Amino acid sequence: MSNKQFDVVVIGAGPGGYIAAIRAAQLGFSVACIDEWSNAKGGPAPGGTCTNVGCIPSKALLQSSEHYEHAGHAFAEHGIDVAGLSLNLGQMIKRKDTVVKQNNDGILFLFKKNKVTFFHGRGAFAGAAGAEGYPIAISAPSNETINAKQVIIATGSNARALPGTPFDEKLILSNTGALAIESVPANLGVIGAGVIGLEMGSVWRRLGSKVTVLEGLPTFLGAVDEQIAKEAHKLFTKQGLSINLGCKIGAITTGDNNVKVEYTDAKGEAQSVVFDKLIVSIGRTPNTNGLGADVAGLALDERGFVAVDDDCKTNLPGVWAIGDVVRGPMLAHKAEEEGVAVAERMAGQHGHTNFNTIPWVIYTSPEIAWVGRTEQQLKADGVAYKAGTFPFLANGRARALGDTSGMVKFLADAATDEILGVHIIGPMASELISEAVVAMEFKASAEDIARICHAHPSLSEATKEAALAVDKRTLNF
Ligand code: FAD
Ligand code: NAI
475 lies in a domain? no
User: Which pLDDT value is given to residue 337?
Assistant: 98
Residues 96-111 as b/e (b if ≥16 CB within 10 A, e otherwise) read bbebbbebbeebbebb
| CA pair distance 277, 259, nearest whole angstrom | 6
167 lies in a domain? no
pTM: 0.97
Q: Active site residue: 73, 78, 352, 456, which one?
A: 456
46 lies in a domain? yes
Q: Which of 172, 195, 355, 365 most suits a substitution to test ligand 2, by most atoms within 8 Å of the C-beta? A: 195
Residues 312 and 406 in one domain: no
| CA pair distance 12, 47, nearest whole angstrom | 9
Contact 410, 387 (CB under 8 A): yes
Residues 326 and 380 in one domain: no
User: Which pLDDT value is given to residue 60?
Assistant: 98
Provide the 10 A C-beta neighbour count for residue 172: 23
Residues 30 and 153 in one domain: yes
H helical segments located in 217-271: 226-239
Ligand 1 center to 71 CA (angstroms): 33
Residues 231 and 320 in one domain: no
Residues 216 and 194 in one domain: yes
275 lies in a domain? yes
Final residue of a domain: which of 231, 254, 282? 282
408 lies in a domain? yes
164 lies in a domain? no
Tell me how far CA of residue 185 lies from CA of 258, 310, 349, 383, in angstroms. 10, 45, 52, 47
DSSP-derived letter for residue 43 is -
Domain count, the chain: 3
Final residue of a domain: which of 282, 308, 327? 282
Displacement of CA 403 from its chain's centroid (Å): 24
Residues 132 and 182 in one domain: no
Task: Confirm whether residue 215 is marked as ligand binding.
Answer: yes
CA angle 249, 255, 261 (to 5 degrees): 15
Q: What is the largest CA-CA distance in the chain?
A: 74
Residues 223 and 365 in one domain: no
Residues 191 and 322 in one domain: no
Residue 270's domain comprises 172-282
Task: Confirm whether residue 199 is marked as ligand binding.
Answer: yes
Residues 401 and 361 in one domain: yes
Contact 175, 203 (CB under 8 A): no
Task: Confirm whether residue 328 is marked as ligand binding.
Answer: no
Ligand 1 center to 48 CA (angstroms): 5
Question: Does the annotation mark 78 as catalytic?
Answer: no
DSSP-derived letter for residue 133 is B
CATH number reported for the structural domain that contains residue 450 in this entry:
3.30.390.30
Give the containing element (helix H, strand E) for 325. Answer: none
163 lies in a domain? no
CA angle 319, 320, 322 (to 5 degrees): 155
Residues 339 and 432 in one domain: no
Ligand 2 center to 180 CA (angstroms): 19
Residues 151 and 255 in one domain: no
User: Which pLDDT value is given to residue 258?
Assistant: 98
Final residue of a domain: which of 304, 324, 353? 353
Residue minimizing CA distance to atom 37 of ligand 1: 54
206 lies in a domain? yes
Residues 181-208 as b/e (b if ≥16 CB within 10 A, e otherwise) read beebbebbbbbbbbbbbbbbbbbbbbbb
Q: Which residues of the chain register pLDDT less than 50?
A: none
Residues 84 and 217 in one domain: no
User: Which pLDDT value is given to residue 295?
Assistant: 95
Strand pairing category for 187-191 and 172-173: unpaired
User: Which pLDDT value is given to residue 1?
Assistant: 54
- Give residue ranges with CB within 6 A of ligand 1: 11-17, 34-37, 48-50, 54-55, 58, 122-124, 154-157, 175, 196, 287, 290-291, 323-325, 330-333, 335, 363
CATH number reported for the structural domain that contains residue 340 in this entry:
3.50.50.60
User: Which pLDDT value is given to residue 2?
Assistant: 72
> Minimal CA–CA distance to 303: which of 318, 281, 325?
325
